A and B are shown apart, each in its own frame.
Chain A
């Protein structure tokens, strides 16, 4: 979608618009949440939560971009479209972002692997938490094994998504 611009060379004296700088990350996360409007009637929780993956990617790529409260509006949008009880992603995503803020101060060394480790912990927290919240809001007896495959391939998908996110980011900051 952004390929024609990727070869674009930034020119001196030109700046990307403010909307592009602040709006692009929000819009990509919302588009990621909207993947559930694809006409797939799934028989099991198979689709990775793309909204969560993109939020994590932006947070780990650009720590200065957002404060932790961004999880509240983005989580609410995800809840409205994902079928989870309203408030579940609002709570889980915000707590996850606060948790990443807290962990980041304590890490001495930081590289791609540590990012993946943080993302894996965050994904497990959010999916297991979503399962728990779905269970207590009348979801019946849902077992943890049900979401184990979804957790696994969401974690495996993270490096790919973070790459795509970095490409979008390059386009975002180039005028």
Chain B
């Protein structure tokens, strides 16, 4: 086939002008786009307010779909569970036997811990949980890793708050709109979390790689202290995350760098907990006074 009749307007002066004007508009629009990106270099959340409209409008759709598919997505787990029912039953029973003693020990340790803290007059009232909500969608076609949370400013969510699931850390709040919030996931390449090894507190820094894994660099010079199977927890340095939230497990070592997999998989977790920032939780003196400014922050309010 020969090329299609081109869009050249021929000798029609009016058509020529209109084509020229369309290119002027297009190039101006592209320049405005580049300008918006340039603004975002210095202020990444500056124009996030523009997103509020689409985020709010798409929330009911995402939520409805989420409710529908949450059953279907765990279908593979259910099937494999049936397949391995017998052997799994025996293994689980053994594990329960083994764990029972450990739980009793842990309870005793926790009790002793509380007693010692009381002796030291340390304030450790854990009012850090703000609310429970669900992740309803994500930036699945972008190179950044954001998830959208079904709770926002009106529910008391603020930028910078850590987000966790029962399995471990999920990320932190990046921007908020009235009813939704964007969560910067642990695996985003700009999310840096100070961590330590759970067993002996070797400090390290975890950076996302964007593909579902994290890169762990030890803060100590010298050879890489990590081994496959090490569990990493937050160290509380930096004031955002509470200490001792499980983060990742090391799976591979490559020279100076260790690669880890997050313990909480945001695509599988049912609900996530938004916590107050660590600094905020520690420096609050009375539980009543700071909350009076924001009465809508119902403690442990739950959003379906």
Contacts and interface: CB of A to CB of B under 8 A. Distances in A.
Interface of A: 34-50, 63-64, 67-69, 71-72, 75-77, 80-92, 94-95, 97-98, 101, 104-105, 107-111, 130-131, 133-143, 146-147, 150
B267 A43 contact: yes
B212 A83 contact: no
A138 B41 contact: yes
A86 to B, nearest CB: 5
A90 B143 contact: no
Contact of A90 (B33, B185, B187): B33
B142 A45 contact: yes
23 contacts: A34-B58, A36-B142, A37-B137, A41-B147, A43-B145, A43-B185, A43-B187, A45-B141, A45-B142, A71-B26, A71-B30, A82-B139, A86-B50, A86-B51, A87-B33, A92-B33, A98-B30, A104-B7, A107-B3, A108-B3, A109-B2, A130-B143, A136-B41
Nearest to B269: A41
A75 B2 CA distance: 31
Interface residues of B, number: 69
Given A44-B212, A91-B37, A39 B1 contact: no
A50 B142 CA distance: 12
B4 A63 contact: yes
Given A83-B142, A131-B143, A39 B33 contact: no
A71 B34 CA distance: 13
Across the A-B interface, the 4 shortest Cβ-Cβ residue pairs? A83-B139, A87-B36, A90-B33, A72-B29
